[in-house]
């Protein structure tokens, strides 16, 4: 936010504002330096105020749009008008390109300590279906509507990802993007929701999508057969409001970590580790739910990524095997133990994190990681912050950097 300095107001009254160009031109230079789109933001005050452009607002738009588009280097002019409603507010907004039609800003997605999805003022609110009566009794119709509007990506359609997906759909989420490049194996049937022996050999994303559509026929469910370490696959996540990371590869987690910073897209990353002794007795059930938001340490800063394995995973299978044989890279491909009860437990904890961020039933200073030691019946939480010189630190200027070249500021494997 770049407030207009007091000396730049030519006229200022309860009903009218007139601002000299020095009140906003410096902000356009800041937008150009930040590769951002400038948005002309003001209020229509009063509890009964309507955040819709007046004739005077339209005249101002015509007078300054060209300057905003040119001086910012973005080619876009944005407007946003807000009016108070109790402790909250309502809004309308538009984006106007140098050429082409003006388009409305139909939603705002707030991703701070709490998460809030706000529809535009002109959008008609609809009551939740009777199907969700028990949900509404728990957290009200507004949250139920938000769940139906959220666009959520799930990276990984295995035991954890499928459990997350089914819980989200039963909660009322109706826009999903599923990403996985694996096919269903015989051993997957013991924990992948929606799987049956008859579908072994088929793509996991297809199996899961069909299962979810059987639960909710109105579900908008897109699938991608691919790896998130491929640029085109990571690019598809730009359309998501929120991402659940349910992949077990370190290279994929590196990409998710960058998405949370460069696109300001919250990521809830989950993992489960089962440990056994030499006799094959289960001795450890450790799970993790890590929430990546602005101001929180990324997975690298938290030491939640094995960088050596991540580097090996980014290479071709032949190159990876050659380096492993020579001792320069860790051997990959080990099959880790997995049990449906434990993958489902961590999936539920991850979905709980989303609900708390939307509803606010947890502590005001929310932890950014939950650790589950199921074998000890223990749950603990923590907060971690970015390292000063790392890209996820605000001072590095990568928050919301968006569509940089290269995308997410990293090199991509050519497939």
Percentage of residues of the chain with pLDDT beyond 90: 79
How many residues does the structure list for the chain? 415
Q: What is the pLDDT of residue 316?
A: 61
Among 158, 216, 212, 164, which Cα is nearest to 183's?
158
pLDDT in tens, 276-296: 888 888 999 999 999 999 999
Residues 254, 246, 382, 109: what is their CA dihedral angle, to the nearest 10 degrees? 80
- Using the predicted structure, report yes or no on whether residue 363 has a pLDDT greater than 90: no
pLDDT in tens, 27-50: 999 999 888 899 999 999 999 999
Distance CA 29, CA 58 (A): 23
Peptide bond just before 406 cis, omega within 30 deg: yes
What value, to the nearest 5°, has the Cα angle with vertex 335 and ends 332 and 336? 110
Q: Per the structure block, which two tokens stand in for 40?
A: 């002309």
Sign of CA dihedral 182, 293, 124, 215: positive
Report which of residues 355 and 319 the model is more confident about. 355
Which of 29-43, 232-246, 304-318 tops mean pLDDT?
A: 232-246
Q: What is the pLDDT of residue 43?
A: 92
pLDDT in tens, 187-229: 999 999 999 999 999 999 999 999 999 999 999 999 999 999 9
Q: For residues 65-71, give the mean pLDDT.
A: 95
Structure confidence at residue 364 as a pLDDT band (50, 70, 90): confident
- Using the predicted structure, report yes or no on whether residue 317 has a pLDDT greater than 90: no
pLDDT in tens, 71-111: 999 999 999 999 999 989 999 999 999 988 999 999 999 99
Percentage of residues of the chain with pLDDT beyond 70: 94
Q: What Å distances lie between residue 347 and 72, 163, 164, 390, CA to CA?
A: 43, 6, 5, 29
- Using the predicted structure, report yes or no on whether residue 327 has a pLDDT greater than 70: no
Q: For residues 238-258, give the mean pLDDT.
A: 95
Q: For residues 98-126, give the mean pLDDT.
A: 91
Distance CA 396, CA 261 (A): 11
- 312 — phi, psi (to 5°)? -65, -40
Report which of residues 87 and 386 the model is more confident about. 386
- Using the predicted structure, report yes or no on whether residue 125 has a pLDDT greater than 80: no
Domains of the chain: 6-105 (no CATH), 130-306+340-409 (3.40.50.720)
- Using the predicted structure, report yes or no on whether residue 69 has a pLDDT greater than 60: yes
- Using the predicted structure, report yes or no on whether residue 52 has a pLDDT greater than 90: yes
Distance CA 412, CA 415 (A): 9
Sign of CA dihedral 72, 78, 81, 82: negative
Q: For residues 232-247, give the mean pLDDT.
A: 96
Lowest-confidence segment of 196-205, 234-243, 305-314, 349-358 by average pLDDT? 305-314
DSSP 183: B
Alpha helix (H) residue ranges in 216-298 = 231-236, 250-262
Is residue 176 within 8 A of residue 169, CB to CB? The reply is: yes
Q: For residues 248-257, give the mean pLDDT.
A: 93
- Using the predicted structure, report yes or no on whether residue 415 has a pLDDT greater than 70: no
Q: What is the pLDDT of residue 403?
A: 79
How many C-alpha atoms does 387 have within 13 Å on its Cβ side?
9
* DSSP notation for 98-120: SSS--EE--EEEEESSSEEEEE-
């Amino acid at each position: 936010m770049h407030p207009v300095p007091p000396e730049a107001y030519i006229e200022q009254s309860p009903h009218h504002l007139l601002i000299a160009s020095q009140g906003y031109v410096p902000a356009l230079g800041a937008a150009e330096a930040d590769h951002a789109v400038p948005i002309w933001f003001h209020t229509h005050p009063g509890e009964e105020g309507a955040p819709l452009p007046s004739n005077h607002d339209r005249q101002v738009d015509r007078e300054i749009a060209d300057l905003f588009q040119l001086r910012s280097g973005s080619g876009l002019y944005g407007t946003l008008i807000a009016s108070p409603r109790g402790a909250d507010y309502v809004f309308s907004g538009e984006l106007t390109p140098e050429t082409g039609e003006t388009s409305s800003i139909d939603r705002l997605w707030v991703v701070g300590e709490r998460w809030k999805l706000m529809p535009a003022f002109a959008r008609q609110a609809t009551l939740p279906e009777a199907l969700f009566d028990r949900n509404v009794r728990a957290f009200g119709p507004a949250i139920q509507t938000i769940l139906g509007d959220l666009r959520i990506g799930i990276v990984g359609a295995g035991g954890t990802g499928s459990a997350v997906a089914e819980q989200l759909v039963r909660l009322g989420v109706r826009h999903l993007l599923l990403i996985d490049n694996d096919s269903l194996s015989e051993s997957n049937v013991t924990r992948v929701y929606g799987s049956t022996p008859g579908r072994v050999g088929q793509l996991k994303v297809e199996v899961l999508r069909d299962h979810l559509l059987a639960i909710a026929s109105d579900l908008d469910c897109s699938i991608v057969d691919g790896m998130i370490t491929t640029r085109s696959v990571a690019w598809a996540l730009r359309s998501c409001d929120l991402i659940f990371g349910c992949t077990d590869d370190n290279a994929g987690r590196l990409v998710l970590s960058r998405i949370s910073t460069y696109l300001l897209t919250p990521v809830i990353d989950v993992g489960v580790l089962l440990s056994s002794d030499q006799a094959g007795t289960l001795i450890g059930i450790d799970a993790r739910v890590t929430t990546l938001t602005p101001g929180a340490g990324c997975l690298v800063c938290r030491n939640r990524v094995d960088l050596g394995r991540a580097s090996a995973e980014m290479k071709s299978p032949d190159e990876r095997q050659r380096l492993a044989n020579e001792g320069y890279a860790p051997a990959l491909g080990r099959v880790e133990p997995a049990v449906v009860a434990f993958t489902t437990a961590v999936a539920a904890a991850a979905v709980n994190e989303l609900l708390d961020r939307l509803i606010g039933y947890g502590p005001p200073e929310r932890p950014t990681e939950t650790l589950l030691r199921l074998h000890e019946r223990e749950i603990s939480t923590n907060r971690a912050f970015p390292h000063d010189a790392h890209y996820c630190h605000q001072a590095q200027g990568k928050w919301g950097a968006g569509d940089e070249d290269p995308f997410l500021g990293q090199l991509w494997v050519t497939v």
